[in-house]
């Protein structure tokens, strides 16, 4: 059974048809990349998968369950977590507390009136583990807004991992990074998504080809092509539509 299935996803924003029938399946443990030109609807697709808004038509199945109308917090509790293209962290709060928010949510410690998260050794250790994974162990106490850009992207990643998801949605995780930072980020992403399902939106073809097991090309609201990296690289339609013109 696929872990995630999108069936005929349509989305229009009061007349503007952004997605016009997107179908795909994702197997457990698979790394799947979505590429496509600016404005193709990639982030919109993530918003629909993660519950930011509902599709106009079509269904999303996660672990066999139809989640098309479920709010984001319930999708997260089912084991799905997303990152944001535009860094979306808790700016005034320490890096540690940023990640702890998700770690304790995973344990159901969200709105308890008596239990204190910082007294729970297990949660603190798990949080430190995630900070190690994303390379922020030396910035534990730094407020998020004081981090350098690359570190903020790492924190974005850490928060996404904090709820221990089975499916990870990454929206342009390396956007705006230097070459070195990008290389490090790719290594890190490979490590943390090991044996997990992952969808990654990316413009950087080097990142895409070094991470993805399978690639989809989203173009004018539909999936133009879908296949192994080699197939995509050699697909004439893809070359015409995308690779030729926008390959930094």
Partner 1 sequence: MARSHNPVSRFGLWAVFVILAVLPLILRGYQLRLVTEVIIFSLYAVSYNLLLGYAGLLSFGHAMFFGTGAFAVAILLEHFAGLPLLLAVTLATAFTTATGFVVGCLLLRVKGTPFALLTLAFNALFYAIAVKWSSLTGGDDGLIIDPPQLDLWLLTLDPNKGPDFYYLSLAILGPVILFCWYFTYTAMGRTVLLMRENEDRMRFLGYNTLLARLSLFTLTAGLAGLAGSIYSLFFAFVSIDAISIETTTTVLLMTFIGGTGHFAGPILGAGVFIYLQNFLSELTENWPLIMGVLFILMVLFTPGGLVGIIKGAAQWTASRRKTPDLRKGAKNRHAHSGS
Ligand X SMILES: Nc1ncnc2c1ncn2[C@@H]1O[C@H](COP(=O)(O)OP(=O)(O)OP(=O)(O)O)[C@@H](O)[C@H]1O
The sheet with strand 214-219 has its strands ordered as 80-82, 167-171, 197-201, 31-35, 214-219, 222-227
Identify the residue among 4, 41, 170, 185 touching ligand X (CB under 6 A): 41
Query: Is residue 229 within the footprint of partner 1 (CB under 8 A)?
Result: no
Two tokens at 190? 């490979």
- Does residue 126 bind partner 1 (CB under 8 A)? no
Task: Name which of 211, 198, 208, 189 is nearest 247 in CA terms.
Answer: 208
Residue 234 burial class via C-beta count within 10 angstroms: exposed 0-12, middle 13-18, buried 19 and up: exposed
Q: How far is the CB of 42 from partner 1 (least distance, A)?
A: 17
For partner 1, which residue of 69, 110, 179, 237 counts as binding (CB under 8 A)? 110
Q: Give the separation between CA 244 and CA 248, rounded to whole angstroms.
A: 10
| CB closer to ligand X, 88 vs 120 | 88
* In the complex, minimum distance from the CB of residue 102 to ligand X, in angstroms, rounded to a whole number: 23
**Span interacting with ligand X, options 21-29, 32-40, 74-82, 133-141, rule CB under 6 A:** 32-40
Among 69, 73, 179, 190, binds partner 1 (CB under 8 A): 73
Residue 11 in contact with partner 1, rule: CB under 8 A:
no
Q: Which stretch binds ligand X (CB under 6 A): 20-28, 34-42, 73-81, 120-128?
A: 34-42
Shortest Å, Cβ 193 to ligand X: 20
Q: What are phi and psi of 153, to 5 degrees?
A: -65, -35
User: Of 20, 25, 54, 85, which one interacts with ligand X (CB under 6 A)?
Assistant: 85
Handedness of CA 92, 97, 99, 102 (dihedral sign): negative
Which listed range, 10-18, 62-70, 98-106, 115-123, lies at the site for ligand X (CB under 6 A)?
Answer: 10-18
Instruction: Confirm or reject binding of residue 40 to ligand X (CB under 6 A).
Output: yes
On whether the CB atoms of residues 100 and 127 are closer than 8 A, the answer is yes
CB atoms under 10 Å from CB of 215, counted, come to: 27
The DSSP 8-state label assigned to residue 48 in this structure reads H
Residue 110 binding: pick among Mg ion, partner 1, ligand X, none (C-beta 5-8 Å cut-off by kind): partner 1
Whole-Å CA distances, 160 to 64, 148, 153, 172: 22, 18, 11, 13
CA distance 130 to 103: 9
Rule CB under 6 A: is residue 39 a binding residue for ligand X? Answer: yes
Give residues in contact with ligand X (CB under 6 A).
13, 16, 18, 36, 38-44, 85
């Amino acid at each position: 059974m696929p872990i995630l299935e999108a069936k005929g996803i349509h989305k229009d924003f009061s007349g503007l048809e952004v997605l016009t029938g997107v179908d795909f399946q994702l197997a457990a443990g698979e790394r799947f990349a979505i590429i496509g030109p600016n404005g193709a609807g990639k982030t919109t697709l993530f918003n629909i998968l993660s519950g930011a808004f509902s599709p106009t038509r079509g269904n999303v199945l996660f672990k066999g369950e139809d989640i098309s109308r479920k709010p984001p917090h319930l999708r997260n509790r089912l084991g799905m977590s997303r990152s944001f293209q535009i860094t979306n962290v808790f700016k005034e709060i320490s890096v540690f507390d940023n990640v702890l928010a998700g770690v304790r949510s995973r344990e159901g410690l969200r709105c308890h009136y008596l239990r204190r998260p910082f007294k729970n050794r297990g949660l603190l250790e798990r949080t430190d583990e995630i900070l190690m994974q994303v390379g922020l162990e030396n910035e534990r106490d730094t407020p998020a807004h004081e981090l350098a850009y690359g570190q903020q992207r790492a924190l974005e990643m850490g928060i996404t991992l904090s709820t221990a998801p089975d499916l990870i949605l990454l929206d342009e995780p390396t956007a705006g990074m230097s070459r070195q930072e990008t290389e490090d980020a790719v290594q890190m992403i490979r490590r943390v998504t090991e044996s997990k399902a992952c969808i990654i939106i990316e413009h950087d073809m080097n990142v895409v080809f070094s991470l993805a097991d399978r690639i989809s090309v989203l173009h004018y609201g539909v999936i133009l092509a879908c296949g192994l990296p080699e197939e995509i690289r050699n697909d004439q339609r893809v070359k015409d539509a995308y690779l030729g013109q926008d390959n930094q």
